[in-house]
Amino acid sequence: MKLILLFALIIAFLGLLIASKKSKKLSKSNKNFKLDKNNFYIWMNFSKRKRYELAKKDSTLYMNQRKNLLKEIRNEYKNISSSEE
């Protein structure tokens, strides 16, 4: 009887472990969500707070990309100006 109970407890624990891993995979898929016209309805199914957080994250990523591009352009301009002298 104890062996059957122990076996059932192990199976239940493994089931919960697998379920938690699946839920983590689903939550990670939303972290890299990019809004475009193909997935607009998915975007609208998110809660207002989730949409706000994703838009804010996307905005900061875009701003960082622009800053990096501007740095590269400035460095190239400095290199070109110094090589012409």
Report yes or no: 43 and 51 within 8 Å, Cβ to Cβ.
yes
Domain extents in the chain: 1-32, 33-85
Evaluate if residue 61 carries a pLDDT over 80: yes
Give the pLDDT confidence of 39-54 residue by residue, as tens digits: 888 888 888 998 898 8
pLDDT-derived band of residue 22, with 50, 70 and 90 as boundaries?
low
How many other C-beta atoms are found inside a 10 Å radius of the C-beta of residue 51? 15
Which percentage of the chain shows pLDDT scores above 90? 25
In this structure, the chain runs to a length of 85
Higher pLDDT, 32 or 46: 46
